[in-house]
Amino acid sequence: MPKVKIPNNSAEQALLKLMRAGDRLWRASDERFGQWGLTDNHYNVLRILNGAGEPISQIEIGRRMLSSRANVTKLIDLLEKKKYVKRLACGDRRVKLIELSETGAQFIEGTLKQILEAAENSLKPLTKAEQKGLSELLDKLLH
């Protein structure tokens, strides 16, 4: 079988590890949220709304989570059906402002402990100092 000699490239290897780690985390996260009939991205929307503290447009949500308009529509569709979220009319009639509902806030509150514990558990192989180091490196990478 032919074989190409590949020079050792530390950048490529680091990148592959990063992609692999990210992939694992997404899968674990999606599996976790499956218990509530959501995906990680649905939860992301809720947290973005909660963080914003005020209703924001769908396109703004998409911008903050790096997702397409079309996908935000579908995410909101489900969250609205679950009453976690409401679509509000707005001065600009192209725009629908998305508001976190009381039910949605209760969902965040009720699941928060478990979510944070899972996060800490995922990072358990690293010491607190290492976690901080990782965080800073990623900040630089995401500039």
For binding to DNA (CB under 7 A), which residues are involved?
39-41, 57-60, 62, 66-76, 87, 91-96
Name every residue whose Cβ is closer than 8 Å to that of residue 69 and which is 6 or more positions away in sequence.
58, 59, 62
**Residue 54 or residue 92: which is nearer to a second copy going by CB?**
54
Helices 58-65, 40-52: axis angle to 10 degrees equals 110
Q: Return the residue matching tokens 């409401």.
A: 86
Phi and psi angles of residue 83, each rounded to the nearest 5 degrees, phi first: 65, 25
Binding to a second copy (CB under 8 A) within 63-102 occurs at 66, 99-102
Is residue 108 within 8 A of residue 46, CB to CB? The reply is yes
Q: Which does 35 bind (CB under 5 to 8 A by kind): a second copy, DNA, none?
A: none
Is residue 32 within 8 A of residue 50, CB to CB? The reply is no
Binding mask 99-138 for a second copy (x = CB under 8 A): xxxx-xx--xx--x--xx--xx-xx-xx-x-xxxxxx-xx
**Helix H or strand E encompassing 56:** strand 56-57
* Position 14 contacts a second copy (CB under 8 A): yes
Binding site for a second copy (CB under 8 A): 1-4, 6-7, 9-15, 17-26, 29, 47, 49-51, 53-55, 66, 99-102, 104-105, 108-109, 112, 115-116, 119-120, 122-123, 125-126, 128, 130-135, 137-143
